[in-house]
Amino acid sequence: MARNSGRFHFDGGAAAYVGTGILAALITVCTLGFCYPFALVLKERWRAKHSYIDGQRLAFTGSAWGLLGNWVKWLLLSFITLGIYLFWVGPRIAQWKWEHTDFDPTWRPNTLPGAAPDASVAPPTPSRGVCRPDSQKAPRLPERRP
């Protein structure tokens, strides 16, 4: 069996997962599947919010309104073909989910405990406003007087 590289991390809890799943199921069942895109987006945002790759959180950028048009078309085609078109719907939904999953631009990388440092992220420099310990403080320049 292959060893886990430690590059992937998930911190979601059971209570929030069950709550999100129940709400998504209610949305889907109460609308007879018509509003499934709203349930899908709800679950995907939760999943992405709790998923990390190399210490960087994922974000789901898709919207239910963006999927709704295709979803109605796919439902109609599935109905017309007596369910045969459903074999194509699954991969298309998976593709749509991956096309709308990205790294969260508001998340600071490597903030998870034990995350390996990322070589592509430059370390902070004093010009970026990072404080140095007293032993490494830059000398103060004399004030200019007019």
Q: What's the mean pLDDT in 37-44?
A: 97
Q: What's the mean pLDDT in 1-29?
A: 91
Instruction: Look at the chain and report how many structural domains it folds into.
Output: 1
Q: Is the pTM of this model over 0.95?
A: no
Instruction: Specify the range with the lowest mean pLDDT, choosing from 24-38, 76-90, 116-130.
Output: 116-130
Q: What's the mean pLDDT in 105-122?
A: 59
128: in domain: no
What pLDDT is attached to residue 133? 47
Q: Are 80 and 143 in contact (CB under 8 A)?
A: no
142: in domain: no
Q: Are 40 and 28 in contact (CB under 8 A)?
A: no
140: in domain: no
120: in domain: no
Where in the sequence is the domain holding 71, given as residue range(s)? 8-115
What pLDDT is attached to residue 108? 72
Rounded Cα distance between 101 and 57, Å, is 11
Q: Can you name the residues that pair with 93 across neighbouring β-strands?
A: none
135: in domain: no
Does pLDDT of 15 surpass 90? yes
**Assigned token pair, 96:** 């749509």
Nearest in space to 56 (alpha carbons), one of 113, 107, 116, 123:
107
Q: What's the mean pLDDT in 56-80?
A: 95
Give, as one character, the DSSP assignment of residue 60.
E
